[in-house]
């Protein structure tokens, strides 16, 4: 409901405007009326209206003086000047003050409806943005949502749904998700809205990591079945754009400011119960009550098999045992946390055998693999590279490590020669038989940028050259520069050049 305050010193005109607002059939509430600018100012402080409709000329304090005072004190309110004078000087003064709209007396219902429509759209958009920002601060830092924002939304209970795509990510080599817009379209689309009753609302917020989104619901009442059915439908839709999705549904709470604790619990639940490379729906209400799933561990015989392979310097057989263990974890729907513990246990065995002291960095690589790999096939490939490195260090005649600076130069040359293909950091790492984590750290150390940043920058520099010296279309340049989607190419182009492809081409042609 949008609240309006009317400041007009002529009673008949004031009543006429009130009646016309009612006839406009808008979702508007007349919060109050005032006969002069000073009276209007005091009522604005107590009633907090969204819109002020004020006459220019009033006793004690004019409408322009009132608006100037509101601006100086940073009081947020939309302002509409009402005047029977067609003098340009008044309009000019109002524009200089940043007045939102200007109405001439006598005011028609049509003009009033148009102004209210325009301002309502602005107010709702600003409220939604402010509420999203306040929600994010409350959920992540515990900052309470201000009362003036709380008063803009009505609810009986509120609840959140944490959507996590693929792994529980701690690290990421990506600047954005390739399906970011598709995901938002799903979460803002009919699947969610069809389960909301009249007066119920939902806010979409970003999560803590690049692959998380939050839906915050404000409901008249909650039923477990409603959100469960919604989650199932969302899961099916999201699975069309990615490999796995985990949705965690919180308990309902009576105050939105209590959702911070539920959000913290959801994140803890994800950390402990997310099933690697599989989809699932989790509930906060079951997390603390349920017994933990039995740990998946490396059995004594499996550990002995790995030790024997290392002792006999047989990397191929060790990788076969590793593949068998990963297949078992996949079958048992092992959690990401349990899988990470097992892989680090295996890592200890390998490092104990090789006598390396760089254990923490290799454990970090395991975490990076689990954060970025979407499937067991991707994880297996990364682990093969990692253990291949270990064996090359162990067996002298297998050592092929090059000078780090030389390796970085070769990687740059590979990127320049292959930028037009659909390649990513995993493809580059595989080509050089090193792990993505090692490549990223080495490249950053010697180039001050990550490999994916260098690849993106080089692609855009080539695109600029195409736009400057050819008549190729944006779609053609997109494909030549290794992008399969024109939208993401344009997004990357504008991020680096601060211009759209079309703007860049036009500007260059003007220079020529």
pTM recorded for the entire structure: 0.69
pLDDT band at 351 (very low <50, low <70, confident <90, very high): low
CATH number (1.10.10.60, 3.40.50.620, 1.10.10.10, 3.40.50.300) of 406-424+444-511 reads: 1.10.10.60
Of 82-91, 96-105, 269-278, least confident by mean pLDDT is 82-91
Of 35-44, 84-93, 160-169, least confident by mean pLDDT is 84-93
pLDDT at residue 394, as a whole number = 59
Residue with tokens 């015989």: 301
pLDDT at residue 292, as a whole number = 54
Question: Over pLDDT 70: what percentage of the chain?
Answer: 90
Q: What is the pLDDT of residues 65-78, one digit of tens each?
A: 999 999 999 998 99
Tell me whether the omega of the peptide bond preceding residue 106 falls within 30 degrees of 0, making it cis.
yes
Structure tokens given for 288: 């603390």
Question: Tell me: domain 2-119, CATH 3.40.50.20, correct?
Answer: no
- Exposed, middle or buried by CB within 10 Å (0-12, 13-18, 19+), for 422? exposed
Query: Does the structure show a pLDDT above 50 at 256?
Result: yes
Of 121-125, 201-205, 212-216, 289-293, least confident by mean pLDDT is 289-293
pLDDT at residue 511, as a whole number = 47
Domain spans of the chain?
2-119, 153-164+177-287, 300-398, 406-424+444-511
Question: Over pLDDT 90: what percentage of the chain?
Answer: 44
> What value does the mean pLDDT of the chain take?
85
CATH class of 153-164+177-287: alpha beta
Q: Who's near 391: CB < 8 A, 6+ residues apart?
A: 313, 315, 398
Q: Count of CB atoms within 10 A of residue 61's CB? A: 19
Please, are residues 371 and 171 in contact by the beta-carbon 8 Å criterion? Answer: yes
């Amino acid at each position: 409901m949008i609240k309006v305050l009317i400041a007009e010193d002529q009673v008949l005109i004031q009543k006429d405007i009130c009646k016309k607002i009612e006839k406009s059939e808008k979702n508007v509430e007349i919060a109050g009326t005032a006969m002069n600018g000073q009276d209007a100012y005091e009522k604005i402080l107590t009633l907090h209206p969204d819109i002020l409709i004020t006459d220019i000329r009033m006793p004690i304090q004019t409408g322009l003086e009132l608006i100037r005072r509101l601006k100086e004190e940073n009081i947020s309110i939309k302002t509409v000047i009402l005047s029977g004078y067609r003098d340009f000087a008044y309009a000019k003064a109002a524009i200089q003050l940043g007045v939102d709209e200007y109405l001439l007396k006598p005011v028609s219902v049509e003009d009033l409806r148009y102004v209210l429509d325009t301002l309502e759209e602005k107010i709702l958009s600003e409220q939604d943005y402010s509420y999203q920002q306040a929600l994010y601060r409350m959920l992540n830092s515990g900052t309470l949502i201000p009362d003036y924002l709380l008063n803009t939304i009505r609810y009986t209970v509120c609840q959140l749904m944490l959507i996590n795509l693929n792994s529980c990510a701690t690290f990421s080599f990506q600047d954005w998700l390739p399906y970011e817009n598709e995901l938002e379209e799903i979460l803002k689309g009919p699947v969610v809205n069809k389960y909301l009753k009249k007066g119920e609302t939902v806010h979409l917020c970003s999560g803590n990591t690049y692959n998380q989104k939050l839906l915050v619901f404000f409901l008249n009442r909650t039923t477990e079945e409603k959100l469960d059915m919604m989650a199932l439908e969302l899961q099916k839709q999201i699975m069309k754009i990615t490999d796995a999705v985990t949705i965690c549904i919180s308990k309902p709470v009576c105050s939105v400011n209590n959702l911070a604790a539920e959000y913290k619990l959801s994140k803890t639940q994800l950390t402990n119960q997310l099933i690697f490379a599989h989809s699932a729906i989790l509930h906060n209400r079951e997390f603390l009550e349920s017994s933990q799933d039995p740990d998946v561990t490396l059995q004594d015989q499996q550990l002995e098999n790995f030790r024997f392979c290392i002792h006999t310097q047989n990397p191929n057989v060790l990788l076969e045992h590793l593949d068998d263990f990963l297949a078992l974890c996949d079958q048992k729907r092992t959690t990401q946390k349990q899988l990470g513990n097992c892989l680090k246990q295996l890592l200890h065995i390998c490092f104990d055998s090789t006598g390396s002291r760089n254990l923490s960095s290799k454990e970090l690589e395991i975490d990076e693999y689990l954060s970025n790999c979407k499937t067991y096939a991707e994880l297996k490939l990364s682990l093969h590279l990692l253990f291949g490195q270990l064996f090359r260090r162990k067996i002298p005649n297998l050592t092929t490590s090059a000078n780090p600076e030389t390796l970085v130069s070769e990687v740059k040359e590979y990127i320049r020669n292959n930028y037009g293909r659909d390649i990513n950091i995993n493809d580059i790492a595989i080509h050089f038989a090193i792990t993505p984590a090692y490549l990223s750290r080495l490249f950053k150390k010697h180039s001050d940028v990550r490999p994916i940043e260098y690849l993106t920058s080089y692609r855009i520099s080539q695109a600029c050259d195409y736009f400057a010296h050819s008549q190729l279309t944006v779609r053609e340049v997109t494909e030549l520069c290794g992008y399969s989607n024109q939208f993401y190419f344009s997004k990357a182009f504008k991020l680096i050049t601060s211009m759209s492809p079309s703007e860049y081409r036009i500007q260059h042609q003007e220079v020529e």
